[in-house]
Chains A and B, each alone.
Chain A
Amino acid sequence: MIDSHGHPIVPGPSPEEQEGFAVLEDDGRKRMFDYQENVRLVIRWFTCACVFLALLDVAIYLLVSVFHVFPHAHHSFEIEGFPMFYPAYGFVACVLLVLVAKQLRRILMRNEDYYDS
């Protein structure tokens, strides 16, 4: 093989020849997430945690701003004091991020060997 400048191409080691490469046969044992109920369990616990965090935020807002139980918490910006600001920002930011990135694919995506051809 010769490249575009007429120099011979020295092929690199293929992954299989590379030292440390190891492919084994599947032993057929089922692991944790092969069971759908485990996956469902993880999602359920995670949802509970999110609901707890959201409720906690509302509770803190009521205690601080309505009942004035704690001295006013330190906020650099007013927006931080709104109930559910952080959870909502995190959720919306990530959904937006993915939706925008998905649209970016239309403009930016090319074949894998785009630069090699």
Chain B
Amino acid sequence: MIPDLHPGALLLLGGLLVPLLRGRLLQVFLCVLPIAALVNMIGVQAGADIRLGFMGYDLHVVRVDKLSLLFGYLFHIAAMLASIYSLHVKDRLQLSTGLIYAGSAVGAVFAGDLITLFVFWELLALTSVFQVWARKSKRSAGTGLRYLMMHIFSGLLLLAGATWYFQSQPDGSLGFNAMTLGQPGSLLIFLAFGIKCAFPFFHTWLTDAYPEATPTGTVFLCSFTTKTAVYAMARGFPGADELVIIGGCMAMFPIFYAVIENDLRRVLGYSMINQIGFMMVGIGLGEPGVGTAWGINGAVAHAFNDVLFKGLLFMSMGAVLLRTGRINGSDLGGLYKSMPWTTGFCIVGAASISAFPAFSGFVSKAMVMSAAAEEGHFVIWLCLLFASAGVFHHAGIKIPFFAFFGHDSGIRTKEAPFNMLVAMGAGAFLCVFIGCAPKFLYDLLPVDFGDNVYRPYTITHIITQTQILFFSAAAFTFLMLRGIYPPELRSTNLDFDWFVRKGSGLFYRCMDCVLNGINKAAHRACVNGVTKGLSGFFNDAPARVAVFVMVPVWASTGMNQNLLQEKKDALYNRVRLGTFPIGITALFAVLLLALMFLFSFRGTA
């Protein structure tokens, strides 16, 4: 069926309507809108498309296939959970931009050409930054600006890449399909996607912005931006070998940061990079038509699950921040007494991200690892195994332990608001549901499994996964009891954003030194040196010449020294100021006339 409406249209337009509503009406609207949008999208079938002519180009505004549909469903579910979670929020700018942000993510995953993708790509950046700025603190203002700069940069790279890629296409097609990395255009596009995927060195926007957003803002942020980028990578560069190595690095390095980080939402930010690492490995292994379909399918399934369990974890931490005003591990502890439901939901999220059997991570993370093993990537497989043990350690244990258990901070507060509990409950239900009945998710996956259907629930997989998780927990318990585990400390840990945040100051001072130095030197040389010299020269050169000519004449008349000096001074001043007695002026005039007469005479002769 051909869609009557763009799948993202309802969210985009609905977001614009939010500022006009208030009170109960706004809350009903927030509940109904994502459902209406989902109903609108369900009518759309794979194979349908909308094309538009724009300035002579054929734009493929909506292209529907299994990959885009899966992300479409995911974003609608995420928008639903995030809006319910935000029902208590009064700041309508934040709610409005949040919904438009969700709508742009939907638009981006249905974009069939690079220009449409670019438009939604930039809209994602522009609308998402308000979730950070809505915190209305000095820190969030700076963070938002850095976040926006990074994402605008990604958008510009995408535009430049798309233009270059378009020029190199023999059929002049703008279509957004699988590309190879062999040419500059696709390389720029790859980098643009990579920035939004939080590639190493470009990842700091994520760990910078997510902890600075509002409690509800982070729930919006964690669902759409990176997952749109994962979608784009899966669409554009399946089977790119580089992704396997990049993904391996992304799965490894953030877990070290996560262990020493104090801000629990920043811990989740690092853990998100680690999870995207798994997805990148899966995409890198998913060369179309080669081997099993586990690579791409695993990556996409894990992206689906990640939105749910990471959303759930960010929701539980948002509830803690809302109720206590604190989010540092060093300030929290013992909250299970005041917030038992939030604690329970957080544990479900933690179990899902750690891939416990019967929870959602179990059915998707292992698919990527099996793909790596099947294709013989031993080192990557070891890295991913290390990362799965590590993720349990920092996201599975550290988050619930330091927030809800551990040392009792003495903080007593209320349970999270009802709307937040409903959203967390729905998220937790989905995590367990997908974990127990993975078939519903597997049926939506983009690549047909063929003969190699992935079976997560084998005895070997259940036992080995349980073993690795229990012994990671044993390591945590051992280190805790022996007092080796590093305590939570109020601190900032340096990351690559040092180069932007401190490096920019250094750059500023260097530029100040060099450019202002050049300016000063030029001022000295030109204004004080050359100009002054020239003006002096033109000021008294004729006078000096006159004196130079007259002194020998006067000296030859035997004039005494005093008189000579007097006449010299008088002549110098007269010539410099141009004041001569009438007689001399008349003499010069006569001389001039005589010269003119002579020359005119010569001219006629």
Please judge, given known A-B contacts A49-B470, A60-B463, A104-B256, whether A89 and B484 are in contact too, CB under 8 Å: no
Cα of A51 to Cα of B333 in the assembled complex, Å: 29
Assess the A97–B255 pair: CB atoms within 8 A.
Answer: yes
Instruction: Say yes or no: B490 contacts A112, CB within 8 Å.
Output: yes
- B493 in contact with A94 (CB, 8 Å): no
CB <8 Å contact, A77 and B414: no
Cβ proximity bits B460-502 to A, threshold 8 Å, 1 near / 0 not: 1001101111111111111101001110011111110000011
Q: Contact at A77–B88, with CB atoms within 8 Å?
A: no
Report yes or no: B322 in contact with A98, Cβ–Cβ below 8 A: no
Query: Nearest CB to that of B370 among chain A residues?
Result: A76
Interchain pairs with CB closer than 8 A, number: 181
Are B413 and A86 in touch, CB under 8 angstroms? Answer: no
Are A23 and B386 interface neighbours, CB within 8 A?
no
Q: Which residues of B contact A94 (CB under 8 A)?
A: 389-390, 393, 471-472, 475-476, 479
Once the chains bind, are A18 and B322 in contact (CB under 8 Å)? yes
- Bound-state Cα–Cα, A97 to B143, Å: 29
Hey, what's the 0/1 contact readout for B142-167 against A, CB within 8 Å counting as 1? 00000000000000000000000000
Whether a CB of chain A sits under 8 angstroms from the CB of B136 is yes
With A20-B323, A22-B323, A90-B467 as given contacts, are A12 and B472 in contact (CB-CB < 8 Å)?
Answer: no
Chain A residues within 8 Å of B, Cβ to Cβ: 3, 9-16, 18-27, 31-34, 43, 46-47, 49-50, 53-54, 56-57, 60, 73-74, 76-77, 80, 86-95, 97-102, 104-105, 107-116
Contacting residues, chain A, for B502 (C-beta < 8 A): 115
* 15 pairs of residues in contact across A and B, judged by CB atoms under 8 Å: A11-B137, A15-B326, A22-B413, A23-B324, A26-B412, A33-B336, A49-B470, A76-B376, A93-B386, A100-B256, A101-B257, A102-B486, A104-B257, A108-B495, A112-B491
Residues of B within 8 A of A110 (CB): 491-494
Question: Hey, which chain B residues are within 8 Å of A100, CB to CB?
Answer: 256
**Nearest A-chain residue to B139, judged by Cβ:** A116
Contacts A24-B338, A24-B412, A43-B477 given; indicate if A93 touches B385 (C-beta within 8 A).
yes
With A56-B463, A109-B491 in contact, is A21–B475 under 8 Å at CB?
no
Is B314 close to A, CB under 8 A?
no
B405 is an interface residue with CB less than 8 A from chain A: yes
Q: Is the CB of A93 within 8 A of B472?
A: yes
The answer to whether B544 has its CB under 8 Å from any CB of chain A is no
Residue of B nearest to A20 (CB): B322
A26 CA to B473 CA, complexed, in Å? 31
Q: What residues of A have a CB within 8 angstroms of the CB of B381 in the complex? A: 76-77
Q: With A77-B381, A93-B385 in contact, is A25–B412 under 8 Å at CB? A: yes
Q: Which of B259, B260, B471, B477 contacts A87 (CB 8 A)?
A: B471
Interface set, chain B 363-398, CB cutoff 8 A to A:
370, 373-374, 376, 378, 381, 385-386, 389-390, 393
CB nearest neighbor in B for A100: B256
Residues on the B chain within 8 Å of A97, using CB = 255-256, 259, 386, 389-390, 393
Bound complex: CA A116 to CA B492 (Å): 11
Q: What's the Cα separation between A60 and B381 when bound, in Å?
A: 23
Known: A26-B410, A112-B490, A114-B492. A57 touches B467 (CB 8 A): yes
User: Chain B 302-335, CB within 8 Å of chain A: the 1/0 string?
Assistant: 0000000000000000000011111000000000
- For A9, list chain B residues within 8 Å (CB): 138
In this complex, what residue of B is CB-closest to A70?
B459
A100→B417 CA distance, assembly (Å): 40
Cβ B470 vs Cβ A50 within 8 A: yes
Residue from B378, B390, B471, B489 in contact with A91 in the complex, judged by beta carbons closer than 8 Å: B471
Minimum CB–CB distance from B244 to chain A (whole Å) comes to 16
**CA–CA, A107 to B108, complex, Å?**
40
Q: Check B574 for interface membership: any CB of A closer than 8 A.
A: no
